[in-house]
Amino acid sequence: MCTAVSFLSKEHYLGRNFDLDISYGEKAVITPRNYPFKMRKLQDLTEHYALIGIAAIFDDVPLYYDAVNEYGLSMAGLNFEGNAVYLEEVPEKLNVTPFEFIPYILGQCKTVAEAKALLEKINLVNIPFSEQLPLSPLHWIVADKEQTLVVEPLASGLKLSDDPVGVLTNNPTFDKQLLTLSKYRGLSAKTPENTFAPAVDLPVYSRGMGTFGLPGDLTSSSRFARAVFTKAHSICEPTEMSSVSQCFHILNSVEQVKGCCELEEGHFEHTIYSVCYNTAKGLLYYSTYDNRQLTALDLHKVDLDGSEPNVYPLLTEQNVHYQN
């Protein structure tokens, strides 16, 4: 399970929580323009736009969970179990494997509009990275400062949906997630008027009564509604640090606490990391479950014309600053 948010403040930001029960040794990775992405069914990407993101590395290949490229196009993959369908090869299509998908799009597209045009030609094929690493059932959020897109691999092919709320979680399909929001039309950040029984003095016994009914459980539909509401009403100063802080506050409103969602005996889903990208500047900020301090990386602080990825292990131990 995961939650992703496309957030516009001082600049454009993409944030996501990565929720799972186990870690695959995720790392922050900057891939320069001349690293050869080897494609299974297409010509290798030997020249492409530079990327910065979070990835697991297997056989020296960065398998990106989320990333932004040097032109500000961002992308994240989220669990879509029970709905994701990867197809067999189609000769007239560009046959791309799901683990190649993020670098293939971000390596060639500068905007969501360009990504849409390329996506119309793509078929996501059912080819795993290896026998030991089967495919994950995913769907993706693709965002720039102008628009946000959801890409869902269904039995009929790739379904592209404009995302007017800039949020993505997991199941059900995105159209159903949007429809569910209608149940919460009456919610507000303001104290509500008494329309239930105007002749009866119904006291306002607490602040925040306008949000009564906002779901607080951990299901993907509830996290979707809560993230949309929180993002829609969030206010921050038009500065970098205020914007980044607000992005993490939105993510924190739907984070998973270890122990609250048991998958099997002794295995609990939790927010392994949270990340926020300033897509315009190529800045990556992250925190991990046991390290709440923000760590930042800058895409433009390395040689973008290189041919080897720059790999940074995530800092997972809390560093406490004592003031006295």
> Catalytic positions, please?
2
Those residues with Cβ within 8 angstroms of residue 213's Cβ, 6 or more apart along the chain or in another chain? 184, 186, 187
Give the number of other CB atoms < 10 A from CB of residue 15: 27
Residues 17, 255 contacting (CB under 8 angstroms): yes
What's the helix, strand, coil split of the chain in %, to 5? 20, 35, 50
User: What is the C-alpha separation between 257 and 270, in angstroms, rounded?
Assistant: 5
The DSSP call for residue 97 is -
Element (H, E) at 124: strand 122-124
* Lookup: tokens for 200: 């009866």
* Lookup: tokens for 226: 């809560």
Residue 231 identity: K
The DSSP call for residue 198 is T
User: What is the C-alpha separation between 315 and 285, in angstroms, rounded?
Assistant: 12
Taken in order 179, 183, 186, 191, is the CA torsion positive or negative? negative
The burial of 278, by beta-carbon neighbours within 10 Å (0-12 exposed, 13-18 middle, 19 or more buried), is given as buried
**Three-class SS of residue 273?**
strand
DSSP code per residue over 13-51: EEEEEEEESS----EEEEE-TT--B--SSS--B-S---E
